[in-house]
């Protein structure tokens, strides 16, 4: 009965709170839209759709990071075509509007915990947006009197995201909330022993992620990152993730589609070769928890841009597995993880405390393998391999990026890392038939903007142009 109640409220949230409210449309009142939806219905929708936005973004970036590849030659995402990303743009603005609505109701009711979640999910969504597009509408985006909002500089929006996280933490820490979070409708941390504490940890984890984004800039502050990490996750049990879905979990649907000859979720040769021993000379046991072997008994990926070599889902190449951690029935959708935090720690501590950095690197691998369910013996054998356990003296940041690339499989932050690392992974090459002569660094503005707000849309010279933090 409890699950039925959960999804009744979830469906109610979808019906009442999420219909067509991108920032250009919310200026016009909709008489059919409920103006005061239940606060916990909004909580269900905001937490769920924030997670789904991470999936939507990851379903773009997985091709840029060559974790997935299209089975069709010269597919747009594979070859850096300027694919219209209107859906991602609209979905992000849509759910931020819901988070702002939840916050407004929460302010009226002194529901401090809901205020905190609203601010944290707002920051998570906006940080996704600026990581794809750079400058975006923000300060004027929700003004009902402005139909064509100006674009804010991405660094200013980035600073706003950090402020949202700080404000969210402060709200969650406030005593005597008028309404507390309902575990049945918090689809990210509803199962936590201490739901409020879980959200505070996630806010600090997101803060560490955002601060680490500045790794190429003089403003990079490792001490601030390590401070944030000290208040973030301490184990895999803290991870922010979706585990409840109306139907199939998103990557499970990709794996299932293949069984219906709807080709989806094909593994890139770059990623497969990074795990099967071809690129780094060590077999990574995580590969068996992501994909299946071919009918020849080997792991074989598809080269990005080249398309499949076989006829279809006949076992000639590897694709997401119905048994894999990320794509099995009910597979969790990971938003922020303890493993990610350990790799951020390894990078932040590298210059001042190499011993700490090296241990964090090993701990990040262990955390990710434990998350995927790799047996202890296989995990420990990998960690002991000389190609992995190089020792503190030989330890490099390249190893951090290499292992984080595997641990962040299908997550949009993997593309942030690829750009920060200048795509300097071993044997990482441009896709076949690439439309650029260098790796992709951004996406173009969506047609919903260029058609309706053209006078404010910044000019994009090339998808190889670097965003402000990527200089």
Per-residue pLDDT tens digits for 62-114? 999 999 999 999 999 999 999 999 999 999 999 999 999 999 999 999 999 99
Query: What is the distance between the terminal CA atoms of the chain, rounded to a whole angstrom?
Result: 53
Bridge-based pairing state of the strands 333-336 and 240-242: antiparallel
For the segment 293-310, the average pLDDT, to the nearest whole number, is: 95
CA 194 to chain CA mean position, Å: 24
Percent of the residues in the chain that have a pLDDT greater than 70, as a whole number: 92
CA distance 152 to 273: 41
For the segment 276-288, the average pLDDT, to the nearest whole number, is: 98
CA distance 471 to 468: 6
Query: What pLDDT, on a 0 to 100 scale, did the predictor assign at position 311?
Result: 76
Domains and CATH numbers, the chain: 2-219+439-470 (1.25.40.390)
Measure Cα distances from 173 to 121, 170, 195, 232, 240 in Å.
17, 5, 12, 15, 19
In the predicted model, is pLDDT for residue 150 greater than 50? yes
List strand residue ranges (DSSP E) for 80-222, in order: none
98 and 21 in contact (C-beta within 8 Å)? yes
250 and 331 in contact (C-beta within 8 Å)? no
- Per-residue pLDDT band for 36 (boundaries 50, 70, 90) equals low
Q: Which residues are registered as beta bridge partners of 37?
A: none
Give 369's contacts (C-beta < 8 A, 6+ positions apart). 285, 286, 378, 379, 382
CA distance 171 to 164: 10
pTM for this model (two decimals): 0.93
Measure Cα distances from 208 to 221, 279, 331, 345, 363 in Å.
10, 30, 26, 9, 17
Q: Which residues are registered as beta bridge partners of 68?
A: 267
- Per-residue pLDDT band for 202 (boundaries 50, 70, 90) equals very high
Query: What pLDDT, on a 0 to 100 scale, did the predictor assign at position 3?
Result: 41
- Per-residue pLDDT band for 34 (boundaries 50, 70, 90) equals very low
């Amino acid at each position: 009965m409890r699950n039925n109640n959960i999804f009744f409220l979830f469906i109610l949230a979808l019906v009442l709170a999420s219909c067509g409210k991108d920032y250009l449309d919310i200026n016009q009142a909709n008489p059919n839209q409920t103006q005061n939806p239940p606060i916990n219905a909004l909580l269900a929708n905001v937490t769920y759709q924030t997670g789904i936005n991470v999936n939507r973004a990851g379903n773009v970036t997985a091709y840029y990071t060559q974790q997935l590849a299209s089975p069709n030659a010269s597919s747009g995402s594979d070859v850096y075509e300027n694919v219209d990303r209107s859906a991602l743009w609209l979905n992000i603005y849509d759910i931020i509007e819901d988070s702002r609505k939840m916050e407004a109701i929460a302010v009226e009711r002194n529901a401090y915990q809901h205020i905190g979640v609203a601010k944290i999910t707002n920051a998570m969504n906006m940080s996704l947006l600026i990581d794809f597009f750079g400058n975006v509408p923000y300060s004027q985006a929700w003004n009902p009197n402005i139909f064509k909002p100006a674009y804010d500089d991405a660094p200013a929006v980035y600073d706003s995201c950090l402020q949202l996280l700080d404000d969210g933490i402060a709200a969650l820490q406030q005593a005597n909330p008028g309404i507390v979070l309902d575990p049945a409708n918090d689809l990210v941390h509803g199962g936590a022993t201490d739901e409020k504490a879980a959200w505070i940890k996630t806010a600090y984890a997101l803060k560490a992620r955002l601060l680490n984004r500045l790794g190429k800039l003089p403003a990079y502050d490792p001490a601030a990152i390590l401070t944030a990490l000290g208040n973030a996750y301490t184990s895999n049990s803290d991870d922010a993730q979706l585990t409840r879905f109306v139907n199939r979990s998103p990557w499970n649907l990709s794996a299932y589609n293949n069984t219906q000859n709807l080709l989806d979720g094909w593994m890139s040769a770059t990623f497969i070769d990074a795990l099967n021993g071809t690129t780094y000379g060590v077999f990574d046991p995580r590969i068996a928890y992501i994909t299946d072997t071919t009918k020849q008994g080997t792991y074989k990926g598809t080269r990005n841009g080249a398309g499949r070599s076989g006829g279809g889902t006949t076992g000639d190449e590897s694709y997401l597995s119905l048994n894999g951690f990320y794509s099995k029935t009910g597979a969790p959708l990971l938003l922020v993880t303890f493993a990610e935090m350990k790799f951020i720690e390894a990078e932040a501590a590298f210059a001042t405390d190499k011993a700490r950095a090296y241990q964090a690197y090993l701990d990040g691998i262990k955390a990710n393998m434990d998350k995927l369910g790799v047996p202890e013996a296989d995990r420990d054998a990998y960690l002991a391999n000389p190609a992995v356990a190089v020792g503190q003296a030989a330890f490099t940041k390249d190893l951090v990026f290499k292992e984080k690339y595997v641990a962040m499989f299908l997550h949009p932050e993997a593309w942030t890392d690829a750009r920060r690392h200048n795509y300097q992974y071993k044997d990482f090459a441009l896709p076949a038939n690439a439309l650029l002569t260098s790796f992709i660094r951004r996406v173009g503005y969506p047609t919903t903007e260029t058609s309706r707000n053209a006078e404010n849309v910044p000019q994009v010279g090339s998808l190889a142009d670097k965003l402000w933090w990527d200089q």
